[in-house]
């Protein structure tokens, strides 16, 4: 029996085999969203050669009865490949493929939110406005067997919030190796990850994806989440997207959505923004209903949130539902931030709904 | 310990023409794999040029002590061009000293099935490094491994070999099993091909065998598929007897299996003995899946028996 360090080296050598030296074949990891709307699933297949274009990838299928998406006696759910990213785990010419799910008859299954979002983004009025999104994905790292946040003492709590936001040090920053590995892995994959930071609650982190145009925002956020889950799996740590993982005087986790259209980015944009925010205020309840389960535990009006029942907006106001940056106010154009979405929101739903309300909907 | 790894990874071709050949065979239980290595003077491409060898059959339950030599013949794949197989090999990873599934709390159970199929995360996927190493190692070796996925029971995985023609399906599956045994050995984890490793509300492990002949893949093939399935239905008991030990613990009619005493087929039906895919039904041609074989089946037996019953046997 070999010692554990030499055996993990040998295992790593196999995992890191450079297949392109002996074969043209590549491995494609097909990724989809499971029956809960938040669980990610994936499986891999071999393909005879390198592929750059998702339209050249074969459709596939999976056992929907094992993911709560089909009955056992009619279990096939079809995967349509939509976007290709480079695989940071297998490297070489191997790829990750983000898919959405359909019945054999070609209908999107109920949990397929991408289909509807794509319809909204291809509407000529929406496409003409080139909607840009920057999503700030917060998440909490948990210890595996206790589901208690990483770095927290079992059966107890760390010192109160204060030192942890963007903090550094073994007593303030828990899990940076996961965060840094994720950052590089996403850049390698081709995801437009724009930054990372440690969050206010210890063990909580944030990464930002954007600016992305239209449906690409949802695609990239989902694949970034998948890569994060894979990296945490390697590290033996659990990722939580719960919007309020610990009750009490601890920040929740959100997915603030920064948004602009072509008109907002041009001169006179501030007025366009104010009209858009007004429309959002008129559909506050509808948006909140679609902004993530359990958000009422997070949007309390404290801990840098606005109360879930009230719509408010303000310049540089982190206690508002929608925030406009000082720079945007000064320039008279730019973007605004919808701070309401929870960390467990579906980016396909949120991004398309904001576009739909602000561009298509008439009060 | 990196000194040991350095030595294991010595690049011999830098200093010698000699190569090492690992001869692999199946031992006395029908499932235990054995191997030993020898040096050859130079690289060999053609199995016909390999020397025959022998081993001590009395140590593998395959020969008496006083006449213990068993001769190893290389495999010469003269395969029939007509039948094609794809085998979905399921298997379970076990913690070494307790023989309890990998990732399960010792003395207890994980949360119920649901999150694990194709799942991702430290609380859902146990042993992915073994699975990924195996995938690349098989491709490197030239085994036609077509895919992998995490299975419904936590700690259980599946890889697929195929499409392979005729006897090469059996060859490739055995080699893929051997490579997996070697990798789990490195990882200090035990590999199980038991068809129902944990009784109760936990899926078993199978080796679904996908099959087609040339005519089934051509126009009008769907009718031939139905005829073939009918013949298999008439020999259900004989097939079941050859489809792996302990299969009665697995084929209960629950957990995506058909009951062992019932022969049933259906389109997209995972509770059937034989499943025909929706695409095959739509196109009027393709292949079908025999879901009855257990994970510990012998692919030589199963593939040849399916071909024999559907092509040669007359009711």
Give the CA count within 13 Å in the CB-facing half-sphere of A134: 16
Tell if the CB–CB gap between B117 and A67 is shorter than 8 Å: yes
From chain B, the residues in CB contact with A29 under 8 A are none
Using CA coordinates, name the residue in chain B closest to A32.
Answer: B118
Query: Two tokens at B67?
Result: 């006449």
> B122 and A76 in contact by Cβ < 8 A?
no
Q: Residues of B with CB below 8 A from A4's CB?
A: 188
| A77, A94 contact by CB (below 8 A) | no
Alpha carbons A172 and B59: distance in angstroms, whole number: 59
Residues of B in contact with A72 (CB under 8 A): 256, 269-271
Rounded-to-integer distance, Cα A78 and Cα A65, Å: 13
Would the CB atoms of A74 and B268 count as touching at under 8 Å? yes
* Out of A9, A17, A238, closest to residue B2 by CB: A9
Q: How many helices (H) and strands (E) are present in chain B, helices listed first? A: 8, 12
Average pLDDT over residues A181-191: 94
Nearest neighbour of B9 by CB, restricted to A11, A13, A89: A13
With an 8 Å Cβ cutoff, are B132 and A6 in contact?
no
**What is the pLDDT at residue A3?**
46
| Cα–Cα distance for residue pair A15/A7, rounded to 1 Å | 12
Of A15, A41, A229, the CB nearest to B133: A15
Per-residue confidence of chain B (315 residues) as pLDDT tens digits? 567 777 788 888 888 888 888 888 888 888 888 888 888 888 998 888 888 888 888 888 888 877 888 888 876 554 444 789 999 999 999 999 999 999 999 999 999 999 999 999 999 999 999 999 999 999 999 999 999 999 999 999 999 999 999 899 999 999 999 999 999 999 999 999 999 999 999 999 999 999 999 999 999 999 999 999 999 999 999 999 999 999 999 999 988 888 999 999 998 888 899 999 888 999 999 999 999 999 999 999 999 999 999 999 998
Strand partners, A256: A136
The model scores a pTM over 0.80: yes
**Long-range own/partner contacts, residues A143-146 (CB < 8 A, 24 or more apart):** A143/A237, A143/A238, A144/A236, A144/A237, A144/A238, A144/B122, A144/B123, A145/B105
| Structure tokens given for B131 | 């699975």
ipTM field: 0.84
- Which of B5, B188, B270 lies nearest to residue A1, judging by beta carbons? B188
Q: Any idea which residue has 């109760």 for tokens?
A: B200
């Amino acid at each position: 029996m070999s010692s554990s360090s030499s055996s993990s080296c040998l295992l790593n050598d196999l995992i890191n085999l450079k297949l392109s030296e002996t074969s043209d074949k590549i491995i494609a990891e097909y990724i989809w969203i499971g029956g809960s709307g938040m669980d990610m699933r994936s499986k891999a297949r071999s393909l005879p050669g390198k592929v750059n274009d998702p339209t050249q990838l074969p459709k596939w299928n999976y056992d929907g009865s094992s993911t709560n998406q089909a009955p056992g006696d009619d279990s096939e759910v079809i995967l349509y490949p939509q976007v290709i990213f480079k695989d940071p785990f297998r490297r070489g010419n191997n790829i990750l493929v983000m898919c959405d799910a359909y019945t054999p008859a070609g209908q999107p299954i109920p949990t397929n939110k991408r289909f509807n979002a794509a319809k909204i983004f291809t509407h000529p009025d929406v496409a003409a406005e080139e909607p840009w999104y920057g999503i700030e994905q917060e998440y909490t790292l948990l210890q595996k067997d206790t589901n208690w946040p990483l770095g927290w003492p079992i059966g107890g709590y760390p010192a109160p919030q204060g030192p942890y936001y963007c903090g550094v040090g073994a007593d303030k920053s828990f899990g940076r190796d996961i965060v840094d590995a994720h950052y590089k892995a996403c850049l390698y994959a081709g995801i437009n990850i724009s930054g990372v930071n440690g969050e206010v609650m210890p063990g909580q982190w944030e990464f930002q994806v954007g600016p992305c145009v239209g449906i690409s925002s949802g695609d990239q956020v989902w694949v970034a989440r998948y890569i994060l889950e894979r990296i945490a799996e390697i590290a033996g740590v659990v990722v939580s997207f719960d919007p309020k993982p610990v009750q009490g005087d601890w920040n929740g986790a959100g997915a603030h959505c920064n948004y602009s259209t072509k008109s907002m980015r041009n001169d006179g944009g501030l007025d366009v923004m104010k009209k858009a925010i007004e429309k959002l205020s008129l559909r506050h309840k509808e948006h909140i209903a679609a902004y993530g389960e359990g958000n009422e535990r997070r949007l309390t009006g404290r801990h840098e949130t606005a109360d879930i029942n009230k719509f408010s907006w303000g310049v540089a106001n982190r206690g508002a539902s929608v925030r406009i940056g000082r720079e945007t106010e000064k320039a008279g154009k730019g973007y605004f931030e919808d701070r309401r979405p929870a960390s467990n929101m579906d980016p396909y739903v949120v991004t398309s709904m904001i576009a739909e309300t602000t561009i298509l909907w008439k009060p | 310990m990196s000194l040991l790894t350095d030595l294991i990874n010595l690049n011999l071709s830098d200093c010698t023409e000699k190569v090492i050949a690992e001869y692999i065979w199946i031992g006395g239980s029908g499932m235990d794999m054995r191997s030993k290595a020898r040096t050859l003077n130079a690289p060999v491409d053609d199995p016909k040029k390999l020397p025959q060898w022998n081993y001590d059959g009395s140590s593998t339950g395959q020969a008496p002590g006083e006449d213990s030599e068993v001769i190893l013949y290389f495999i010469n794949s003269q395969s029939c061009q007509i039948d094609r197989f794809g085998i979905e090999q399921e298997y379970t990873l076990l913690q070494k000293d307790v023989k309890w599934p990998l990732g399960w709390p010792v003395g207890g159970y994980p949360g119920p099935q649901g999150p694990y199929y194709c799942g991702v995360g430290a609380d859902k996927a146990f042993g992915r490094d073994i699975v990924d190493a195996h995938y690349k190692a098989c491709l490197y070796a030239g085994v036609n491994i077509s895919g992998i996925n995490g299975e419904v029971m936590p700690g259980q995985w599946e890889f697929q070999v195929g499409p392979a023609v005729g006897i090469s399906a059996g060859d490739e599956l055995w080699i893929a099993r051997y490579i997996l045994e070697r990798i789990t050995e490195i990882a200090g984890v035990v590999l199980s091909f038991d068809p129902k490793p944990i009784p109760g509300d936990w899926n078993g492990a199978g080796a679904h065998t996908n099959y087609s002949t040339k005519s089934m893949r051509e126009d009008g093939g769907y009718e031939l598929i139905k005829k073939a399935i009918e013949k298999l239905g008439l020999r259900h008991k004989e097939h079941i007897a050859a489809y792996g030990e302990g299969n009665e613990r697995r084929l209960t009619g629950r957990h995506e299996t058909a009951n062992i005493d019932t022969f049933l087929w259906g389109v997209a039906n995972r509770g059937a003995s034989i499943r025909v895919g929706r695409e095959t039904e739509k196109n009027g041609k393709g292949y079908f899946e025999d879901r009855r074989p257990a994970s510990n089946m012998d692919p030589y037996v199963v593939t040849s028996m399916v071909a024999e019953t559907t092509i040669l046997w007359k009711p």
